[in-house]
Amino acid sequence: MQHPSVIPQEIAQFNALAAQWWDETGPMRPLHMMNGPRAAWVGERVRNLVGPGVEILDVGCGAGLLSEALAKQGFDVLGIDAGAEVVEAARSHAQGQELNLEYRNATAEELVAEGRTFPVVTALEIVEHVADPVAFLRSLAALLEPDGVLFLSTLNRTPKSFLTAKLGAEYILRLLPVGTHDWKKFVTPVELGHYCREAGLRLADTAGLSFSPARRRFEVSRDLSVNYLAMAVAG
């Protein structure tokens, strides 16, 4: 089976960071800073549109930042990732916590082959790292139950994102390891909408995820020029 969600070099790069993933001052610091507002944005919409405590599939879960945050909101979460080492880091961090949370070293395509479906699927900060975005979104769509909801987040391909998310974060501030992102693979909201339509989905909501220098934190905003969140539904 082909896996449009997998680029081996990307998996190796993130596996290499597995031991540092939960260090809030380490190479995943930006994800830690974004995790609270993005998990809140997703959780609120899931409760309003689908219901509390439903099952969520978190695709590309890494070491489990979003998966744990959603499980702590009372959802039943399955986190999957193609990287074996990051999945082990996720399992290790979750040990001893009484959460409805499970992890698997697997890809979206493998779960499609198993015939699995879920009322909610999340794939945050993944689209810009996959080999074939449209094929990947088709796999995510196939994992949705009828009337299911898909949540995505990615980076917009703008001059501002090049300066802040690429040059600034990787080379100047050293918030991320150099080479974490390829700016040419960033996805504009228009492109994401096109990819969703190709996969039989419709973008239903978007929001920016912006860093506030004054408050030293990320906040949900209307500014989609760098990081942004999206919700898609069948149709």
What are the binding residues for S-adenosyl-L-methionine?
38, 60, 81, 124
Strands 144-155 and 118-124: parallel
Q: How far apart are CA 123 and CA 150, in angstroms?
A: 8
Which positions make up the binding site? 38, 60, 81, 124
CB-based contacts of 86, cutoff 8 Å, min separation 6: 14, 15, 17, 18, 21, 61, 62, 63
Please state the length of the chain. Answer: 235
Q: How far apart are CA 126 and CA 129, in angstroms?
A: 5
Residue whose structure tokens are 């997998």: 6
The number of beta carbons lying within 10 Å of the beta carbon of residue 154 is 24
Tell me, letter by letter, the H, E, C secondary structure of 100-134: CEEEEECCHHHHHHCCCCEEEEEEECCHHHCCCHH
Question: Do 81 and 87 touch, CB atoms closer than 8 A?
Answer: yes
